């Protein structure tokens, strides 16, 4: 006698797909910054602010920041493996019955801490570059940020240099 396999509910598949898609977008944006420079689209929050600061930096400081991010790529790769492990665990939680909301909350808390740590690393690297700037470079950086702030929100296109 053959048993009919239990089907995963459609809403779980959709939720999983959306979660994976969003995580891949974020990783792609961070990877794009590391490898190619500015984002192709504006972002809000810490990632957007990082992009604005990076674009506002004078050329040599911006290049040094990119190099520092590139030099830390091994750390970012290990972080990516950590994120993949959390996703595997999330998939397991989503498929387990009865559903364990506390375990889901734990995974999401660890993912939040993961992104905060990654942001702190990027912030630290940026702070080092700003501290290494000459007074003239810092003044240019401030001028670029000020110019960007004066733009109407819709014209703050991420592809433009401030």
25 contacts 43 by C-beta, under 8 angstroms: no
pLDDT tens per residue across span 128-153:
888 988 899 889 888 888 888 887 76
> Residue 40: what pLDDT?
43
Q: Is residue 74 part of a domain?
A: yes
Number of domains in the chain: 1
List, in order, residues 6 or more apart from 148 with CB less than 8 Å away. Answer: 52, 55, 56, 156, 162
Q: Is residue 66 part of a domain?
A: yes
d(CA 23, CA 130): 29
Q: Is residue 75 part of a domain?
A: yes
Full residue range of the structural domain in which residue 63 is found? 45-152
Q: Is residue 32 part of a domain?
A: no
40 contacts 32 by C-beta, under 8 angstroms: yes
Q: Mean pLDDT across the chain, nearest whole number?
A: 77
d(CA 77, CA 83): 10
> Residue 19: what pLDDT?
79
Q: Is residue 62 part of a domain?
A: yes
Q: Is residue 15 part of a domain?
A: no
Number of CB atoms found within 10 A of residue 56's CB: 21
Q: Is the dihedral of CA 51, 139, 70, 79 positive or negative?
A: negative
Confidence tier at 161 by pLDDT (50, 70, 90): very low
Q: What is the DSSP string of 40-75?
A: SS---HHHHHHHHHHHHS-HHHHHHHHHHHHHTHHH
Is residue 44 over pLDDT 60? no
Question: Taking the complete model, does pTM exceed 0.85, yes or no?
Answer: no
Q: What angle do CA 106, 7, 81 make, to 5 degrees?
A: 40
Q: Is residue 29 part of a domain?
A: no
pLDDT tens per residue across span 95-133:
999 999 999 999 888 888 888 887 787 788 888 888 988
């Amino acid at each position: 006698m053959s048993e009919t396999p239990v089907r995963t509910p459609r809403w779980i598949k959709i939720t999983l797909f959306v979660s994976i898609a969003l995580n891949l977008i974020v990783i792609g944006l961070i990877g794009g910054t590391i490898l190619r420079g500015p984002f192709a689209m504006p972002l809000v929050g810490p990632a957007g602010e990082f992009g604005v600061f990076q674009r506002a930096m004078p050329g040599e400081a911006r290049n040094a920041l990119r190099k520092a991010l590139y030099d830390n790529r091994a750390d970012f790769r290990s972080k990516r493996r950590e994120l993949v492990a959390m996703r595997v665990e999330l998939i397991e939680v989503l498929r387990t019955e009865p559903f364990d909301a506390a375990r889901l909350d734990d995974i999401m808390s660890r993912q939040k801490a993961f992104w905060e740590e990654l942001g702190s690393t990027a912030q630290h690297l940026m702070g080092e570059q700003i501290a290494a700037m000459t007074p003239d470079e810092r003044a240019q950086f401030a001028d670029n940020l000020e110019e960007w702030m004066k733009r109407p929100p819709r014209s703050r296109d991420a592809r433009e240099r401030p």
